[in-house]
Each structure stands twice: as C-alpha cells, then as structure tokens.
C-alpha cells in the first residue's frame, strides 16, 4: 500500500507541531523566562547557538556514514546474539505474551517512533526557549557524545533484536505495512546494543542533577523540574516498550546506562570550555598533556582489542545461528543497497536440526502482507525464490539492486511441509552477506576513536581531577 506520508514524515510533523505547546506547558510557572518565537533568531545570535545547529548537521552526516559500515562489516565481525540469549533466555517472549494487546501495541509503537526523535530535538530547544544556555549546551552535547560512545559497540558488537532470535517474539514495531519501509531503509533494527533509548534520556537526567549540584540546590527546587519529570516518565515507558515491541534485550540497557554516566560526566565538565571558546580560542578545546596521554592509551588499548579480538573473532563462528524462529514465525534479514553495479552474495546455512524454508523477495512484494508483527508468507510465496534447507544444507543468493530504493529481504520460516517437525521445533540459520565494500574495518576503527578519546578523558578526570579537588578542600 502506498501511504501519502511515512512514519518519519509523520513523526517530524508532530515534532514541529508539539514543540511549542509542550515547552509552554512545562514552563507554565515562569512565563517571563520564555523566548517569544519572534525573538528566537535573535536569541540564537546572542547566545551563540549556531554551533548547536552545526553539531546536529554533523551528527546526521556522521550517522549516515556509520550506517554505511554496519552491514558490510558483519562478514568480518559476526555477532554475539547467542551470548545474550544464554544470559536472558526467553524472558522477552514471556513479557510480550503476557501484555500483548493491539491498543498497547499501537500506543507504544507511536511512542517509540516519535518520542526518541522528539527527545533529541526537544531537549536543547526546551532550554533555548526557557533562556538557559548552559543546559542548552549540555543537552546538545549529550546527543552528540552518547552517539559517539555507542559507535564501537554498534559496529563491532552486533546483537540481533529479540524478535529475530527468540522463537515466538513478534516484531510488533516494524513488521507492519506502515513502518516496514521506514525501518528497513533507515533503521534495519539489526543491532540492539546499546539501548540509546535508555542511555540518552538517562544521561540527560544525570546532567540535570550534576547541574543542580553545581548550583547548590536540590532537583526539587530546580526551575526545570517539570521537564526532568517529563524525561523520567519517558524512561519508564521505554524500559517496558523496548522489550514488549520485540526490539531490545534487558542486557542492552546496561551498556546504555554505563554510557549515560560517562556521557553526562564528560558533557558537564566540557560545557564551560565549549561556552568560553570564542574568548579563549580553538586551542582551549584541545586536551592538556595528561588528558592526551590517557586518551592515547585508551585509543591504543581499545583499538588493539577491536582488531585482535573482534575482527574474525568468536562472533564469526559459522556453526552458530544469528536467526532463530519457531512454528508460525516468519523472520527477515534486510539486504541493504550499497552498490548499483556489484551484487551482494548471501550465504544461508541451516545450522539447526529442523528443515526450514528461505526466500529471496523484494520489499514492495512483502510490504502489503505485513501486519502487527506478522508476515503472511503464503500471500506472496509464488513471487520469491523459495528453497527448502534440511539440517546442514546451504543456499546462495545473488542480490542485484537497480535503484536506491530496491531493497530485498531474505525471509525464513520452519518448513510447514515436514510432518516430523515438532510444535516446539526451532529453526536456526546462519546468514552472511558479502558486500562489495566489506573491508571497512580500518575506517570503522577510526570512527571508534572519538569514543575511546572521550572515555580516556573521562577516566583522567575521575582519577586525577577528583584528587586535585579533594586536595584543595
């Protein structure tokens, strides 16, 4: 079905429409501190908010570059979903089955799609519109820094979403006609660690408290207390929805929390330096000798670990599945568009015990037959290249793309024609896609350096700055 507008367009429209009403509601106790829309451009000029805009533009470009690395690198770094599954088991399946409800699915899907984008945009805008340039700086830095911190895990610690690995868990968010195109072309939902839906708002909550401590007041006395509660409420919703919708594992939350702590400490410390840059010059943004030394050690250590431990490491074991599914489940693996000239070679191996069916098919064929986490295989099976794989058998597909929107899927299910497959049988596949640009390891390591530098500078601050402060008391 052709929609007039997609999920992204709808979310962006709602974001723009709701920004002022929500900001006005949260700042209703201090109307004198509001910036009128007519004065917004002047406020941006006076407070020097141009770098905030540049930061977001740079982040958009950087994220696109990182996304370009993700799929091609999987042939060399593999994945670690089986490790997470050994820790958690079927917990997410139990949670989803317990609360499964169409209305709840619609509400949480809309919240997941919209609120994260809203939080990224609204956090600095709220502070700008309430005349708090310090917190506006920190909120903008928060998004930038926490994504930088996530890059090494995104690229080198691939973990599939729960709906791709736990039998019975439905992909409620993105196996739907309205959202399938958006998530397969913009966010394939194939890398769940860390959960920035938890990490980003938690980092902002920590920043709020660090700021209040620097002001010598409690969070309850802070003039932005309503906004803090707003962020807190959304964290609670996310903690449930990311599991209910078949996306994140519980374990995904832990690195998100760790990154939130590092990000908040870094942004809180660096914001005064960034704010005074026009007076002190660009050199003031560079780390000092001790920070540089610790950051260099961090870069060398973690880069070495990525090259030696992650590349061609335990994640590429061909005997381990990266997709699992039960009776009635239909899973998909997205073949991204990276070249209009060179094919993508896809190797599919049945590493499980029971026969499975796999099919290569175009997205526009699948899209009309998806609804509420389910894909109707029989509705389009005649339009795809269906193959039956018994235990240990393999299939190869060659995917040629004709345009940037020419997205293909490898669909998979337990073979319904095999009477010996029990009702609790589990299909297990190892899918490896060989892209023409699958040797992006060195640029991926380079893209991870900012995270290692930030970590090193944060560690230096924890080890040395705190000692210096204690010595002066």
Return mean pLDDT, the chain. Answer: 87
Model pTM? 0.89
Q: Supply the DSSP string of 175-236, one letter for each residue.
A: SSTTTHHHHHHT------SS-HHHHHHHHHHHHHHHHHHHHT--GGGSTTHHHHHHHHHHHH
pLDDT tops 60 at residue 2: no
Beta bridge partners of 430: 349
- Among 76, 221, 51, which residue's Cα sits nearest to residue 141? 51
Average pLDDT of the residues in 7-14: 76
CB under 8 Å to 418, separation ≥6 — which residues? 354, 355
Most confident of 271-280, 387-396, 421-430: 387-396
CATH number of 323-434: 2.60.120
**Mean pLDDT on 283-293:** 86
Answer whether residue 468 shows pLDDT above 70: no
Pairwise pLDDT comparison (468 vs 356), residue with the higher score: 356
More confident call, 187 vs 67: 67
Q: What pLDDT does residue 367 have?
A: 80
Tell me which residue of 72, 84, 7 sits closest to 322, measured CA to CA: 84
pLDDT of residue 182: 66
Q: Which pLDDT does position 401 carry in this prediction?
A: 78
175 vs 47 pLDDT, higher one: 47
C-alpha 276/C-alpha 150 separation (Å) is 27
- Give span(s): CATH 2.60.120, the chain: 323-434
Q: Pick the range with the lowest mean pLDDT from 184-193, 303-312, 414-423, 451-460.
A: 184-193
User: Which two structure tokens, joined as six digits, stand for 261?
Assistant: 């702590």
Which residue from 70, 65, 72, 66 is spatially nearest to 434, judged by alpha carbons? 72
Distance, CA of 20 to CA of 35 (rounded, Å): 10
pLDDT tens readout for residues 154-211 = 999 889 889 899 998 988 887 776 666 666 666 656 677 888 889 999 999 999 999 9
* pLDDT in the model for residue 116: 86
pLDDT of residue 352: 92
- Predicted local confidence at residue 362, as pLDDT: 86
Is-cis flag, bond preceding 194, omega within 30? yes
Task: Flag the least confident range among 2-6, 139-143, 383-387, 391-395.
Answer: 2-6
Which range, of 7-11, 69-73, 447-451, averages the lowest pLDDT? Answer: 7-11
Whether residue 343 is predicted with pLDDT greater than 80 in this model: the reply is yes
Q: Which tokens sit at 149?
A: 């911190």
Please count the other Cβ atoms lying within 10 Å of the Cβ belonging to residue 51: 16
pLDDT tens for residues 234-263? 999 999 999 999 888 999 999 999 999 999
Backbone angles phi, psi at 168, to 5 degrees: 95, -15
- 335: helix, strand or coil: strand
DSSP state at residue 343:
P
CA distance 172 to 108: 10
């Amino acid at each position: 079905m052709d929609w007039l507008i997609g999920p992204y367009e709808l979310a962006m429209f709602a974001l723009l429409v709701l920004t002022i009403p929500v900001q006005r509601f949260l700042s209703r106790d201090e109307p004198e501190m509001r910036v009128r829309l007519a004065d917004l451009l002047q406020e941006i000029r006076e407070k020097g908010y141009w770098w905030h805009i540049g930061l977001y533009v740079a982040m958009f470009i950087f994220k696109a570059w990182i996304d370009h690395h993700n799929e091609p690198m999987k042939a060399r770094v593999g994945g670690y979903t089986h490790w997470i599954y050994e820790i958690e088991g079927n917990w997410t399946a139990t949670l989803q089955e317990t609360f499964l409800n169409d209305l709840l699915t619609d509400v949480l899907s809309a919240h997941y799609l919209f609120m994260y984008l809203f939080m990224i945009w609204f956090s600095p805008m709220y502070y700008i519109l309430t005349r708090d340039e310090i917190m506006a700086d920190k909120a903008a830095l928060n998004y930038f820094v926490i994504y930088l911190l996530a890059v090494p895990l995104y690229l080198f610690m691939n973990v599939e979403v729960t709906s791709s690995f736990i039998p019975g868990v439905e992909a409620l968010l993105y196996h739907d006609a309205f959202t399938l195109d958006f998530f397969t072309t913009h966010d394939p939902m194939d890398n769940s660690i860390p959960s920035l839906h938890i990490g980003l708002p938690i980092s902002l909550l920590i920043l709020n408290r660090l700021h209040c401590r620097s002001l010598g007041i409690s969070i309850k006395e802070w003039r932005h207390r309503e906004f803090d509660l707003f962020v807190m409420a959304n964290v609670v919703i996310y903690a449930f929805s990311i599991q209910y919708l078949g996306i994140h594992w519980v374990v995904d939350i832990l690195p998100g929390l760790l990154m939130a702590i590092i990000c908040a400490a870094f942004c809180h410390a660096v914001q005064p330096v960034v704010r005074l840059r026009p007076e002190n010059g660009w050199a003031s943004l560079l780390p000092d000798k001790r920070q540089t030394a610790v950051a260099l050690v961090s870069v060398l250590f973690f880069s070495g670990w990525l090259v030696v431990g992650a590349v061609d490491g335990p994640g590429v074991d061909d005997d381990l599945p990266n997709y699992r599914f039960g009776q009635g489940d239909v899973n998909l693996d997205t073949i991204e568009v990276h070249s209009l000239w060179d094919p993508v070679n896809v190797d599919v191996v049945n590493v499980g015990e029971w026969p499975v069916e796999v099919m290569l098919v175009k997205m526009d064929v699948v899209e009309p037959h998806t609804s509420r986490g389910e894909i109707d295989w029989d509705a389009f099976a005649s339009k795809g290249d269906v193959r039956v794989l018994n235990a240990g058998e393999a299939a190869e597909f060659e995917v040629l793309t004709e345009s940037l929107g020419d997205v293909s899927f490898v669909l998979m299910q337990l073979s319904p024609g095999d009477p010996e497959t029990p009702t609790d049988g589990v299909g297990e596949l190892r899918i490896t896609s060989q892209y023409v640009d699958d040797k992006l390891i060195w640029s991926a390591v380079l893209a991870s350096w900012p995270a290692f530098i930030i970590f090193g500078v944060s560690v230096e601050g924890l080890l040395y700055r705190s000692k210096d402060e204690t010595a002066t008391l």
